[in-house]
Chain A
Amino acid sequence: MRQYNLPRRTVLTGAAAVLATPHIAGAQAKAVRIGMQATFSGPLAQSGITHRNAIEMEVDRINAAGGLAGRPIEMVYRDSKSQPQEAARVARELVNSDGCDMLLDAESSAGSFAVQEVVRDLGVLCIHSSSETSSLTADPKYRVASAFRSSRQGIHDAIVGGAYAAKVADARKLTKWATCSPDYAYGRDTTAQYLEYLKHFKPDIEVISQAWPKLGQPDFTEVITKLIQAKPQAMYTALYGGDLTAFINQGNIYALFSAMQVFSVNLADYTALTAIKNLPAGIDTGNRYVVTCPDTAANREWGEAYRKRFKEYPTNWSWESSTGMRFFEGAAKKAGSADPKKLAEALRGLKIDCPFGVDGTVTMRAEDQTVVGYAIGWGTTLTKPPYVADVKAADWGTIFELETEWKKRNGFI
């Protein structure tokens, strides 16, 4: 067997290095480690990448200003590969193995519900910055004391979308409606909620046709022709991303958008807006993220800074993660500490300045630990930048009122 004889000096140097390690580790431990798991691979990789881009911007800004209560932020990123079980495993690993003090969970809803149980088990501070499923924070059986949400909520979008559509429908006398949404929980739930609030504000509408293409379906031709045959006056769609782009491109050649008024909740995100080469004008759309909603200098500056740095526009995911980081920052200022327990306490009811707030601020509502006051509205598409104009900001008073009724109906309060 080959023998390795180490010189004594080497051994002593190595031992000295080992002995010095706790000191170095101690210096590094002063950084606040925030674990962030998201989808960084596969067809949905763009979500994780644009979450991370926004986080990087905020980390640089916060660290340049002194960090969280004087401690720099150090991010640890992990890929969950769009798998809920992997998201849960990675979240646990981030805390137990990577020594993260807190989590920023940028999973889609299925992953976030899995992460929520890890958060419950470990008691770690977590801000969900991607899941839009309302029950994650609204339903007491899912709620966790140390878990918060900085992403928009489906119920808010449904109320605002319904109120906006009812006004347009009233003005243009649109009573016959069709829907076309992806055939899984998100598409069906979002469509049902949208129609519920549309009928709440305008009871005389009639749904005459519904199409449910599967997620990732390459060809929507038969769906488009079915919609044309039904001859509705208006159509609602919850399609998004590449599916929405394909649907619009295929709908264009059937002149679908001149045959009916189209309401698309997910179109006003630059991912889709820039990918569509022949964007029809006049589609009504909910804002995901556009620099014109809110139409403020702060939002425009943030959007431009993002674009300058990453050579692309931010997405809806970007502002949601940016807001999550801003809440960590605001909580640390309020608590005068980066201790996760003190941060959690400070987060409840915290109001911070934020470029994405309808009045320049957003609030982490104490009762269900979710963000409110973010800019949410609907506008109509233009064929060229800024792509969406005349965005009508939502009335948060109406949202709160109807959201409370919704919570009561579902037994959440």
Chain B
Amino acid sequence: MDLDALLGCVTSSSCLVTQTTSGLIVGMLLFMVAAGLTLIFGVLKIVNFAHGTFYMLGAYIAYSAFMFTGSYFLGVLAGGLGMAIFGVIFERVLISRVYGANVLMQLLICYAVVLICDDLVKIVWGPDFYAMGMPPAFQVPPLFIAGGVVPPFYIMLILVALAIGGGLSLLLGLTKIGKIIRAAAHNPNMVSALGINTTLLYSLVFAVGGMLAGLAGGLAAPVRSLTPGMGFSILIESFIVTVIGGMGSIGGALIAAVVLGLIRSFGTIGFPLFTEGLMYIAMIIILVFKPSGLFGKEIV
């Protein structure tokens, strides 16, 4: 524990700017993955343990598309669209068969998909790790804001993640399809009785969830190593975000992700040997006082 260093950091503008942006970027990428996870749970009550695999496949597809086209934008797009399609197939072929089934059955199917996809990645891309490398447009020196160091690439990532989060909120809050999705989350039988095609709706939810994870994988690919099994570590953190924010709450996921990002960012200065532990302590404290998470609905 180094409280002096932490105090020194929060009273120094350069450290404050650097660590805050650092926390935001960690949080925003987490939010992108967790948003899909919480959306799927909110509507379908499915805990998608294979969500990290969506992130991994999105990153690999983005990497291949980038190597083929040379365009980072097309790479990210390919990662997102690829995972939207994969999400639909995953839902139709596998998950649709276990709606309402024992959670262990859902877990088993998801885990099988994780293992199969990890092996498929090794067959298609090989066991080596890959790095996409920074797109030429972002190979620029970092900006210095109030003495703090802020890379332009991370500013772009934060803005894109905010735009996607905002777009998702608008989609769910203001559009007809968003209202249907929210209604289905509340009472799927009633939505079905009204003649709405819930099969299509559920596939759409998985498509959006998969797309968000795929976009996150593609967006992060220039700065993260691509390796089979890479989805596992982000899955755990995404679950923490989802639980803290409240299962099914997109807004809660955003706030929880930013809080976790900031805990990591400042925790590594004040509690360098206990940064991981801090995240779990935050989760425990929140769940003790609000068992359904920050914005989760109480289960009666």
Contacts and interface: CB of A to CB of B under 8 A. Distances in A.
A and B assemble together? yes
Interface stretch (A28-36, A209-217, A342-350): A209-217
B46 interface: no
Range of interface residues on chain B?
Answer: 35 or more
Which DSSP category, helix, strand, loop or mixed, fits chain A's interface? helix
Contacts of B132: 277
A228 B18 contact: yes
- Indicate the member of A225, A254, A278 with the most B CB atoms within 10 Å: A225
B256 interface: no
Contacts of B134: 249, 252-253, 277-278
Contacts of A241: 129, 225
A43 B149 contact: no
Given A241-B129, A249-B222, A222 B149 contact: no
B149 A254 contact: yes
Interface string B8-34: 010000110011001101100100000
Contacts of A218: 220, 224-225, 230, 233-234
B223 interface: yes
B229 A225 contact: no
Contacts of A212: 272-273
Given A249-B134, A249-B223, A42 B272 contact: no
Given A222-B26, A245-B131, A275 B225 contact: yes
- Indicate the member of B23, B139, B223, B229 with the most A CB atoms within 10 Å: B223
Contacts of A224: 22
B175 to A, nearest CB: 33
A83 interface: no
Contacts of A242: 129, 225-227, 230
Interface residues of A, number: 39
Contacts of A210: 272
A219 B129 contact: no
A276 B131 contact: yes
- Indicate the member of B23, B127, B138 with the most A CB atoms within 10 Å: B127
A275 B138 contact: no
Interface in B203-243: 220, 222-230, 233-234
B133 A278 contact: yes
B9 A43 contact: no
Interface string A249-264: 1101111000000000
Interface in A219-245: 219, 221-226, 228-229, 241-243, 245
B131 A246 contact: yes
- Indicate the member of B134, B224, B228, B273 with the most A CB atoms within 10 Å: B224
Interface in A127-169: none
B229 A43 contact: yes
B269 interface: yes
A254 B151 contact: yes
A277 B272 CA distance: 30
A393 interface: no
B149 A228 contact: yes
B131 A277 contact: yes
Nearest to B226: A242
A312 B226 CA distance: 18
Nearest to B276: A214
B111 interface: no
A253 B138 contact: yes
Contacts of A229: 9, 14-15, 18-19, 269
Nearest to A274: B128
Contacts of B129: 46, 241-242, 245, 271, 275
A127 to B, nearest CB: 24
Nearest to A42: B229
A217 B128 contact: no
Interface string B143-181: 000000101011000000000000000000000000000
- Indicate the member of B23, B29, B131 with the most A CB atoms within 10 Å: B131
B142 A255 contact: yes
A219 B139 contact: no
23 contacts: A41-B119, A41-B122, A43-B230, A45-B127, A46-B128, A211-B272, A214-B276, A216-B233, A218-B225, A222-B26, A225-B19, A226-B19, A229-B9, A241-B129, A242-B227, A246-B131, A246-B223, A246-B225, A249-B224, A253-B142, A254-B151, A271-B128, A275-B225
Given A241-B129, A253-B151, 7 more contacts: A46-B129, A210-B272, A222-B265, A229-B18, A253-B154, A254-B142, A277-B134
